Amino acid sequence: MRDRWTVEWLMENKGYEIAAYCASLRNDDVNDLWWWFENMLPCEYNVDCNIFCKNFENCCKEGFVKWSME
């Protein structure tokens, strides 16, 4: 839970991409942090939309992001 708190704090205060990098460093057979991070979205944590989010392209297509990928 401490690792998850750390990643949430990084996402809210330093940015989604830094939190993703931190989570990727802890990706191993024992720790589920990277899996957990891969299944959460910035918008679920009141963080602004981010181009590094796995759902970013879908949000663009659905009109949730003001600018398009074109």
Residue 67 falls inside a structural domain: no
Residue 13 falls inside a structural domain: yes
Q: Counting every residue, how long is the chain?
A: 70
Residue 16 falls inside a structural domain: yes
Residue 22 falls inside a structural domain: yes
> In this predicted model, what pLDDT tens digit does every residue of 31-54 receive, in sequence order?
678 788 878 888 887 777 888 788
Residue 18 falls inside a structural domain: yes
Q: How far apart are CA 70 and CA 52, in angstroms?
A: 17
pTM for the full predicted model: 0.64
Total structural domains within the chain? 1
Residue 51 falls inside a structural domain: yes
Q: Residue 31's domain spans which residues?
A: 2-62
Residue 45 falls inside a structural domain: yes
Residue 6 near residue 14 (C-beta atoms within 8 A): no
> In this predicted model, what pLDDT tens digit does every residue of 2-24 receive, in sequence order?
888 988 898 888 888 888 888 88
